Amino acid sequence: MYISTYTALQSALSGINAATEQLDTTGNNIANADTPGYTEETANTSASLSLTLAADNGAGVQVGTGVTVSSITSARSDYLDAAYRLQNSVSGNASTAQSYTDQVQSLLNEPSTTGISSQLANFWSAWNSLAASPTSSAAMGAVVSDGQTLAGSISQLSGDLTTVQTQAAQQFNTITESGGEVDADATQIVSLNTAIQQEVGAGENPNQLEDQRGEVLDQLSSLANVSVTAGSDAGDSDMVNVSLGGLDPNGAGPVPLVTAADTGSTMTSNSVWEPAVAADTPADVGGTLGALMNVAGSAINGGSPGQIDGYLQTLDGVAQSVADEVNSPTVNGAPVTTDPPFFSYTSGGAPGSLAASLAVNPQLIGTPPALPVEVTDTGITGDNDVALAIAGLASGAGDQSYQQFVSTIGTDAQAAGDNATTQSALATAVSNQRQSTEGVDLSQEETNIIEEQQAYQASAQIMNVFNTMISSLLADVG
Amino acid sequence: MMERITSQMQSALMLTNINNDLAALDQTQNELATGMQINQPSDNPYGTALSMQLSGQISTMNGYSANVSDGNAWAGTASTALNSIEQATQSARTLVVEAGDGSLGSSGDAAVAAQIGQLVTTVKQAASAQYNGQYIFSGTATTVAPYADATGDAYQGDQGSILRAVAPGASPIAVNVNLSTVLNGTNLSGSLNNDTAGGGLLGTLETIQSDVTSGNAASISSDLSTLDGNLSDLEELQGSVGGLQDQLQMASTRITDFQTTDQTQLSSTEDVNMASASISYATQQAAYSAALQTGAQIVQTSLLNFLKD
């Protein structure tokens, strides 16, 4: 049985090479420990094919020939990626909802000494003062100007709510329009798809490109529910299909964003994702976009009434309730229709338009104000029946409907805040779980360094031993 | 328990915890700085509604309180005016008693008659008492004096009530009294007499004046008993003003009770409990410093610190 003198030397060399490659990988892992989307890589080694030698007894003997790095794999887990993206979408949805609901509640400026509730109180107490001096033009002026302040604030609140609604619709359009975030992400995914397929075709491990694609998908998942599937054909099996929304199996279904067949330069019409808003519910769309659809409601083209539409409708109810009770107070047990009515408003428009139109009847504004206070029935100057009846409306239906309005928004904001906190904690938990599998653990890498360094040194030692052995052999023989 | 802890996990966790601590600190600091535990509706939606409701009630109570003061001013003015009317009537009565026995002679009677005439004017002047520019004895016709020179004894006002709301849910109370029925008297159908023959105080005084002038001693003694009747009507009216003042006093006490209750409830709803908030603040600050300190130390160290070459 003969064996080449240098086989062992070659084995030692393969050991040094493998250790070097492993150290390279470890170094790369450490360098990318903080790179978003990077997944830990492992240089997998396997024993090289052994030499079979014929033994003296006729049986074969296998002699090892060292080690080779068979592949470099990344610790990507499709399952954890999907779990993270789902939670990221829910969390993005919750935080957008919270930010808009907070904005709405800060418009209310309640509780405070300047909000609408104290303006209502001021308005009623102006009527009370007028009831005490029904002939005083100063008291009449106070009633009119407090009424104007109140009507102005309600109308202003309606305008402010509409502005927030429009902002949400604008943000939605900015994200989904051509050249927007969704479009940019789709473009990137298509070009990464193409590059990955090419590298795989060339027999490479496109781990870094896959990491980049994963990172883009992560970003996309905060905007909407993302479903990712691998391409089904041989030519695109390493590409991914991406679609948005459509979580609900009974809903409109996901809207395709990128198909694996796309090859870069020509984007399909799906690249600008215009969701079928009429068919897809906000909950179905999910993510920031779902939250925006919910907030903006009818302000988005084709959208169905949303959160702010509801608030505006309630505010209309508040405005109408206050105006109606002042316009027809109950005097001595019978409703009196003041002529001209104190408040004017236009009903029947879009949500919020009634509140926006609330004003003190222009016929009443003047010096002195032409109030219908002096009871339309008797015309006696000192009679304060109507003023007394209107002052008695304090803490009545109008006040209560406003309090309920504020309380509803407060409850919504509280729920949105709690939900955002919970979902963000869950997102952190899922992210940690993914990081634990896919991320770079420095302690482990540093332990790997020691192992790999020792493997390198040991292989070098073998070379050294071999060198000494062969040198002494040559010296003795020579 | 995670199997592998990566540096990204460590820093993410550290940041989350530090942010949570800071958010809690921020919230408590805001509560302490504003003195309110409700700074926006979401802090306590029900409490917000309650706080707005209580503030509204307090404002209404302040209105009632102003109404009570206003009512007191009306009653006080009425009381003063009625007192001077009573005094004038009493003086007239003394004069009539002196004139009734015929001892003064005709020149003396003329002087008494003149004085009684003067007292009629005094009564009408007192009836024209005003509060805050409003005639208090003219019913709701507060811009019209109850008696004018041109119209003699005819009452110019109406029988309306000046109403003030002084308690939640209760009907408003009248803060004026009807003097015209005493001064003018009413006929059988209940409407006011507007001439000297009426049987009211003014009519009686004027009858006495003419009886004294004519020296009609027999009439004067019957006039005297009519005058006593008028006087007792006047005293009854004074009594009802006193009753009104009592009623206002009770209303005022009740309003104060309501105000105290509402204020206490408002304070317990929206005001911060300084002691517990300060303790929370100290605890949160300790947690925050600890998070910063340990976070900085954990992230600094790794196995690398202990590897020697």
- What ipTM does this complex have? 0.82
Contacts of A385 in chain B (CB under 8 A): 163
Q: Do the beta carbons of residue A40 and residue A80 sit within 8 Å?
A: no
> Given this model, what pLDDT does residue A278 score?
47
> Given this model, what pLDDT does residue A382 score?
60
How far apart (Å, rounded) are the C-alpha atoms in residues B47 and B31? Answer: 15
Asked if A33 reaches chain B (Cβ–Cβ under 8 Å), the answer is: yes
Contacts of A404 in chain B (CB under 8 A): 49
Residues of A (108-147) whose Cβ lies below 8 Å from B = 108, 110-111, 117-118, 120-122, 124-125, 128-129, 131-135
Contacts of A106 in chain B (CB under 8 A): 40
User: In terms of CA atoms, which chain A residue is nearest residue B51?
Assistant: A111
Choice between A54 and A312, residue whose per-residue pLDDT is larger:
A312
Say yes or no to pLDDT of A377 above 50.
no
Q: Exposed (0-12), middle (13-18) or buried (19+): which is A477, by Cβ within 10 Å?
A: exposed
How many contacts (CB atoms, under 8 Å) link A and B?
194
> Given this model, what pLDDT does residue B189 score?
66
**Among partner residues B5, B36, B142, which is closest to A135 by beta-carbon distance?**
B142
| Relative orientation angle of helices A7-31 and A442-477, to the nearest 10 degrees | 160
Dump strand ranges (E) for B53-156: 130-131, 134-135
What's the pLDDT band for B11 if we cut at 50, 70, 90? confident
How far apart (Å, rounded) are the C-alpha atoms in residues A262 and A58? Answer: 60
Asked if A422 reaches chain B (Cβ–Cβ under 8 Å), the answer is: no
Q: Do the beta carbons of residue A63 and residue A7 sit within 8 Å?
A: yes
Q: Convert the pLDDT of each residue in A419-441 to its tens digit.
A: 999 999 999 899 989 999 999 98
> Given this model, what pLDDT does residue B16 score?
87
Tokens matching residue A340: 């001209």
What's the pLDDT band for A111 if we cut at 50, 70, 90? confident
A277 CB neighbour count, 10 Å cutoff? 20
Q: Convert the pLDDT of each residue in A187-206 to its tens digit.
A: 888 889 888 988 888 888 88
Are A439 and B134 within 8 A, CB to CB? no
Say yes or no to pLDDT of A1 above 60.
no
Report the candidate in A150, A128, A151, A130 with the shortest Cα–Cα distance to residue A139: A130
User: Average pLDDT, whole number, for chain A?
Assistant: 85
Write the CB contacts of A397 (distance below 8 Å, at least 6 apart in sequence): A321, A325
Contacts of B164 in chain A (CB under 8 A): 131-132, 388
- Which whole-number Å values give the CA distances from A375 to A137, A240, A339, B131, in the listed order? 16, 77, 10, 22
What's the pLDDT band for B59 if we cut at 50, 70, 90? very high
> Given this model, what pLDDT does residue A243 score?
82
Q: Do the beta carbons of residue B254 and residue B168 sit within 8 Å?
A: no
Looking at B129-200, list the stretches that DSSP marks H as alpha helix, in order from N- to C-terminal side: 180-184
Least confident of A458-467, B136-145, B297-306: B297-306
Choice between A6 and A10, residue whose per-residue pLDDT is larger:
A10
Q: Do the beta carbons of residue B259 and residue B65 sit within 8 Å?
A: yes
Least confident of A10-14, A232-236, A247-251, B242-246: A247-251
Say yes or no to pLDDT of A39 above 50.
yes
Choice between B261 and A366, residue whose per-residue pLDDT is larger:
B261
Longest Cα separation, chain A: 142
pTM equals: 0.84
Measured in whole angstroms, the distance separating CA A162 from the mean position of its chain's CA atoms is 22
Choice between A43 and A302, residue whose per-residue pLDDT is larger:
A43
How far apart (Å, rounded) are the C-alpha atoms in residues A436 and B55? Answer: 54
Question: Which neighbouring-strand residues pair with A47?
Answer: A67
Q: Convert the pLDDT of each residue in A263-311 to its tens digit.
A: 544 444 444 455 544 457 788 888 998 899 899 988 887 778 899 999 9
> Given this model, what pLDDT does residue A362 score?
86
Please compute Rg for chain B using Cα positions.
39
Say yes or no to pLDDT of B279 above 60.
yes
